Amino acid sequence: MSSTTSYTSVDITAFFSQTSKLWKNDGIRSLFPLEKIPGMISLLAGRPNSSTFPFESITMKLKPALAGMPAPTGEDDPFTITLQDEELNEALQYGMTAGVARLIDWLAEFQTHTHKRVQDGSWDITIGAGSQDVMYKACLALVDDGDYFLVETPVYPGALGFLAAMPCTLIEVHTDAQGLNPANLEAILSTWETTHPGKPYPKALYTIPSGSNPTGASIPEERKIEVLKLAKKYNFLLLEDDAYAFLYYGPAGQQARSYFTLEPEVNAEQGRVVRFDSFSKVLSSGMRLGYMTASPGLCAAVNLITSNTSLQPSTFSQIIAYNLLSRWGPSGFLAHCAGVAQFYRTRRDMFERVAHKHLTGLAEWTTPIAGMFLYIKLLAHKDGREADSWDLISTKAVAKGVLAVPGTAFMPLRGPTPFLRVSFSIIEEDMADEACRRLREVILEARAEAEAEAVSRAD
Ligand SMILES: Cc1ncc(COP(=O)(O)O)c(C=O)c1O
């Protein structure tokens, strides 16, 4: 476990955007912490009076099979969560900007447990309405007009969506079956001054290290180490979006350690890695809970934006999550996640089975060890020439009654690509089988068309 003293703190303020300085304390929320001072009488917030809320109590039943807990004993039923009285009032009320304090404390313990980072003041946690919320706000705090931003490619369109609306230029970094390619990253950075004369070096890299959306790839630890070294050498922040970290179903004990774990060890630094975690894939996506683990300065900058925009993440969702997580403890939660990951592993196996049955010789993919996606390369030409999947997937496949995402959606610069993404998270085997059969027809027809065209050209 890393200890405090010998690490350099990355000066996060040097990365802040000019606009991040325009956000100001809202004058009310910034005073909330003072309410905790013993004896303080607060006339502060315009909180609605909880006695007027129509909820007497709220009871939730947990699924025993997924609860990751021992069987219920006596009267204390660990499969039931009841919110009432004070706790219910709290859940239904406005709360702190960064999140409910005891949930933040639980998460801090969990990060220490999982990532072996001691709570030494070099990092903090802020909760958002999903990880998307805190990712967006972090980028808002960082991106300036004229900045360059590295994005692994192909990449999650949700990140591209908000980055496209920011005044920065996106630089595509290649990935392969092993995730982000450090050699390509180095090639981009080592030639920067000739390719981008007079321009600032990229400020940050956005990457999805486990079970990437869309590629399904997980980057091995050796590559992470190379990427971290480049981050230090070229002084950029590393935005680690690990939304699928809990869905690891590769060989036991071989999950690569996170960038957040590796940062002090590899670079003797703290604060360059900005980590995003999500509860969406393992508790509920509708609860909208995710969190950022980052330098206190960046957490404060995000909190400032939150206090002026969405005000806070849902107290209700947080209290439910806290009830669950505090019963489980870090190892119970991880046991639950392992069960969820196993579920997706079975789904992956099922989908690959039907894909092999219908698409062998017509498509290629790499078997993922985490996440819920297969990134499939269509072999639309017999001779191996590549064809963009856009028309095939968005027109011909739709006409055959099968929907998948054409790879272009994941390309920051919208370049052509022969890939498509399929999700195996909710599809049942009979439907997956039929979908792959239809995709087979699409590819065979595309091949026949291409051959006919070639013949007519030759005539
Ligand atoms: C890579 C990646 N990051 C972030 C998110 C958003 O997660 P959340 O629901 O926590 O906002 C998703 C959702 O699909 C995702 O695929």
* Interval 16-75: pLDDT, tens: 999 999 999 878 888 888 998 999 999 887 899 999 999 999 999 988 766 556 555 555
CA of 362 to the centre of ligand 1 (A): 30
CA of 165 to the centre of ligand 1 (A): 18
The reported pLDDT for the residue numbered 2 is 46
Q: Counting beta carbons within 10 angstroms of the beta carbon of residue 19, is it exposed (0 to 12), middle (13 to 18) or buried (19 or more)? A: middle
The reported pLDDT for the residue numbered 107 is 98
> Best mutation site among 134, 136, 212, 278 for ligand 1, i.e. most ligand atoms within 8 A of its Cβ?
278
The reported pLDDT for the residue numbered 383 is 86
Domain ranges in the chain?
336-458
The reported pLDDT for the residue numbered 432 is 98
Residue of 176, 264, 191, 188 lying closest to 223 (CA atoms): 176
Is residue 171 within 8 A of residue 202, CB to CB? The reply is yes
> How open is the CA angle 300-158-426, to the nearest 5 degrees?
120
Q: Which atom of ligand 1 is nearest to the CA of 129?
A: 11
The reported pLDDT for the residue numbered 1 is 52
User: Which residue has the least CA distance to atom 15 on ligand 1?
Assistant: 243
The reported pLDDT for the residue numbered 453 is 83
The reported pLDDT for the residue numbered 106 is 98
For residue 309 the two structure tokens come to: 């925009």
Count of other CB atoms within 10 angstroms of residue 424: 22
Q: Distances in Å between the alpha carbon of 152 and those of 149, 214, 283, 390?
A: 10, 11, 27, 20
User: Averaged in consecutive runs of 10 residues, what is the pLDDT profile of the chain (459 residues)?
Assistant: 72 95 87 91 89 96 72 69 96 96 98 97 98 98 97 97 96 98 98 98 98 98 98 98 98 96 97 98 97 98 96 98 93 92 97 98 97 97 89 95 96 94 97 98 94 82
Count of other CB atoms within 10 angstroms of residue 58: 16
Q: Enumerate residues lining ligand 1, CB below 6 A.
A: 130-132, 156, 158, 208, 213, 241, 243, 278, 280, 285, 290
Question: Which CATH number does 336-458 carry?
Answer: 3.90.1150.10
Give me the sign of the Cα torsion angle 286, 288, 289, 292: positive
The reported pLDDT for the residue numbered 458 is 79
CA of 216 to the centre of ligand 1 (A): 14
Amino acid symbol at 352: E
CA of 381 to the centre of ligand 1 (A): 34
pLDDT tens-digit map of 212-263: 999 999 999 999 999 999 999 999 999 999 999 999 999 999 999 999 999 9
User: Which residue has the least CA distance to atom 6 on ligand 1?
Assistant: 132
CA of 191 to the centre of ligand 1 (A): 32
The reported pLDDT for the residue numbered 69 is 60
Please name the residues in contact with 325: beta carbons below 8 A apart, sequence gap of 6 or more: 103, 106, 110, 333
CA of 271 to the centre of ligand 1 (A): 22
The reported pLDDT for the residue numbered 79 is 85
Q: Which atom of ligand 1 is nearest to the CA of 132?
A: 11
For residue 294 the two structure tokens come to: 């980052």
Task: Give me the helices (H) in 168-295, please.
Answer: 182-190, 192-195, 221-233, 259-267
